[in-house]
Amino acid sequence: MELELLQTIWFGLVTILFIGYAVMDGFDLGVGMLHLFARSEEEKRLTMNSVGPFWDGNEVWLIAAGGAVFAAFAPVYAAIWSGFYVALILLLVALLARAVAFDYRAKVERARWRQFFDWCFGAGSGLIALLLGVAFGNILHGIPIDARGEFAGTFWTLLNPYAVLIGILTVLLFTLHGALWLALKCEGDLQARMILTAHRMWIVVTAVYMIASVITVVTNRGLFTDVDGNMFWWISLLAVIFAMAFIPVLIVKRRLLLSFIASSIMIAGMIGVAAASLFPMLVPSTIDPAQSLTAFAHSSSRYTLMVIFWIALIGMPIAILWKVILYVSFRGKTVLTKDSY
Amino acid sequence: MVALGATISAFWILVANSWQQTPAGHIVVNGRAELVDFWAAVFNPSTLPRFFHTLTATLIAGAFFVAGIATYYLLKNSSHLFGRKAMKLAVILGLFASVIQVFPFGHWHGQQVAATQPEKFAAIMGIYSTETKAPVVLFAVPVDKPPELKARIQIPGLLSWLAFGDVNAPIKGLDEFHRDEVPPLFLTFVSYHNMVVLGMWFILVMGLAAFFLWKDTLWERNWLLKALLWSIPLPVLASQLGWIAAEVGRQPWTVYRLLRTEHSVSVTVSAETVLFAIIVFFVIYAAMGFTYLYLVAKKVKQGPEPTGA
């Protein structure tokens, strides 16, 4: 296979892995944030157990996405993982807090103990969504990449208004996604409240997404110069528009599974639009566009891309098959048992 | 499935580490190592010995953990059914794993290090100048200036024989290498030797336990049961010591003879930031670790559920 084709394929695969992560872990992060608003111990356990069999598998998509960047675009990995170091440490702390909450919360029956892990779960989830959103905003907007291909800013460079806006959008988006999941997995009063939350969050998400889009178009004209002939860009954009429009209709008709699928498509579309706008850039440089990190100039060798392409070709179907089995086995409403979290 | 997943995961992590120790399957183009042979990189010279040595170490740790918990029940009630069953399994597996850990796996790993990383081999074995009939040093205190071993107790020729199958085979000493291309001597020597001492202890304890298990009198030997109980953390300690020997022994290289540690430092992340991260993780892991011990102790005291026994 030609080098350029492989580089394009890997740009696409990295995008797909990040989409997989956002769609999958997105809902359990949202559930984590909504967990803080659960009204009783039973509700808390229900929210937590609704994602119990799925959350850790969902997080693996992030590892897979990071691993794919490492293997396929090593210089990009080096620049980002070093440049975003402090943010990534915070992200890891949040991921740890959340993971430990699942394991430890139910093991001791004291109220203080459980409260503490409720916060680990809820605040951890919120922080993860926020940090990833901010990181994504920075990638979209571009960061100071110098002539050596290294990040030339600080942690505070990353907290610019645009990136923070994308961070907030991500938090809202995942809350909507999580509310739809809970509506699907729960019954009674909790379900009714989640449906209401989903309605409200849909309005907020739609409004913020539109504002963010306008700001992106105005401040980042460069992103949209080559998109006219890009089929993926148009498909993604249409997916966002249609999915976004159908979510409230589906909720009203109580087609909860379909509304969750629509919200998944919407998230996938949002990342798809962003990735297609960036292509072939992986990280635009705000110092000099010529110093941007791109799929064509900053990839691994042809042989490496070929090897990992085969690994992905074998590995991804297995991972997807396993996911399907998992979600089918744990379909239906969440039930609490003695061994639940 | 869990066991399979964990094993596969361990394999690939060890592949990465092994490649850093004994890189293979690559060429260097414009200062960048590029993969040219995937399988040569995966099965580089240290992958398999390291994999089996590490995997067996985890089995030993598991066996001692189970044996220790079983002991806890047996000390309270020597005819505890669950405790006896668990103990039998742990002792048989523990003795088997402890023995194969030394031979063939430890031996194999040692021979590989002797062949592929002679500086590391000299450092962990305490061979400071090249010699034939090189000894296995049983005990010594390494001092730095000048580098030498004080108070040595050794078996001459044994190391040459173990490493190359010939008592007259020369073992390269540290004097043959550039002063700034040898690893720190004290830490590598001390951690390696203590790991071996612990390895011998595991065989001894599990061997005795197996003997008395066969005689069916293990249940009355409280001293041995107590030794098993207190040995729970030792396999983990031995693993840590082994890793210290392996990783400090790789110094001053991040990738052996390709990339020095001082050249691998990130240009954008400051040392203070890294220190901060280490402290943060230390605190979190310590807190998590203690909570974990508390929960495990609680679970053990509760005892096994009737249906599970």
Q: Kindly state whether residues B270 and B254 are assigned to the same domain.
A: no
CA distance A153 to chain B (A): 9
What's the whole-number average pLDDT of chain B?
89
Q: Which helix (H) or strand (E) holds A298?
A: none
pLDDT at residue A90 greater than cutoff 60: yes
| B161 found inside a domain | no
B246 and B275 housed in the same domain? no
pLDDT band at B64 (very low <50, low <70, confident <90, very high): very high
Q: Residue B306: its pLDDT value, please?
A: 58
Residue B170 lies in a domain: no
In a domain, A339, yes or no: no
Alpha-carbon distance B36 to nearest alpha carbon in chain A (angstroms): 7
Question: What's the pLDDT score for residue A12?
Answer: 93
Domain span at residue A307 reads: 3-329
Q: Does A303 contact B36 at a Cβ distance shorter than 8 Å?
A: yes
Mean pLDDT computed over A253-262:
93
Asked if the structure places residue A341 within a domain, the reply is no
The verdict on B99 and B206 lying in the same domain is yes
pLDDT tens sequence across B25-42: 998 988 888 888 999 999
Nearest CB partner across the interface for A89, out of B35, B280, B291 = B280
Q: Which residues contact A312 (CB under 8 A, 6 or more apart)?
A: A13, A68
Q: How far is CA A65 from CA A17, A74, A143, A336, A341, in A?
A: 5, 13, 20, 33, 28
Q: A150 in contact with B at a CB cutoff of 8 Å?
A: yes
Q: Same structural domain for residues B48 and B119? A: yes
- pLDDT of A260 above 90: yes
Q: Report yes or no on A69 lying in a domain.
A: yes
Task: Note the pLDDT of residue B245.
Answer: 94
Q: Is the pLDDT of residue B100 over 90?
A: yes
**Mean pLDDT confidence for A286-311:** 89
Mutate to test the interface with B, among A303, A309, A311, A339 (most CBs of B within 10 A): A303
The answer as to whether B176 is a domain residue is: no
Percent of chain A with pLDDT over 90: 59
Within a domain: A98 = yes
B305 falls in which pLDDT band (50, 70, 90)? low
Lowest mean pLDDT of A103-112, B108-117, B142-151, B185-194, name the range.
B142-151
Q: How many domains does chain A have?
A: 1
Chain A CB contacts of B16 below 8 Å: none
Residue B147 included in any domain: no
User: In the structure, what pLDDT confidence band is assigned to residue B309 with cuts at 50, 70 and 90?
Assistant: very low
Tell whether B82 is covered by a domain. yes
How many residues does this entry show for chain B?
309
Question: Residues B77-96: pLDDT tens digits?
Answer: 877 888 889 999 999 999 99
Bond into B306 cis (ω within 30): no
Contacts of B267 in chain A (CB under 8 A): 82, 148, 150
B1 to chain A: nearest residue by CA? A322
What is the percentage of chain B residues whose pLDDT exceeds 70? Answer: 98
**Region A265-271 average pLDDT:** 95
Do residue A85 and residue B273 have CB atoms under 8 angstroms apart? yes
Q: What average pLDDT score do residues A199-225 get?
A: 90
B288 or B151: whose pLDDT is higher? B288
Average pLDDT in the B205-218 region?
A: 92
Q: Which domain holds residue B102?
A: 2-124+190-260
Neighbouring residues of B222: CB distance < 8 A, sequence distance ≥ 6: B75
Residue B7 lies in a domain: yes
**Percent of chain A at pLDDT above 70?**
100
Residue B229 tokens, joined: 């109980």
A154 to chain B, minimum CA–CA distance in Å?
9
The angle formed by the CA atoms of residues A42, A177 and A236, to the nearest 5 degrees, is 165
- B185 in a structural domain: no
B136 within some domain? no
pLDDT in tens, A22-43: 999 999 999 999 999 988 888 8
Three-state secondary-structure class, residue B127: coil
Q: Is A154 on the interface with B (CB under 8 A)?
A: no
Residues B283 and B238 in one domain: no
Query: A303 to chain B, minimum CA–CA distance in Å?
Result: 7
Give the model's pLDDT for residue B128: 87
pLDDT tens per residue across span B227-274: 999 999 999 999 999 999 999 999 999 999 888 888 888 888 888 889
What ipTM does the predicted assembly reach?
Answer: 0.78
Instruction: State the pLDDT confidence band at B141, using cuts at 50, 70 and 90.
Output: confident
Number of domains in chain B: 2
Contact B277 A83 (CB under 8 A): no
What b-and-e string marks burial along B92-119, b requiring 16 or more CB atoms within 10 Å of the CB? ebbbbbbbbbbeebbeebbbbbbebbbb
Residue B270 and residue B295 in one domain: yes
- Its pTM stands at 0.86
Say whether both B20 and B110 belong to one domain. Answer: yes
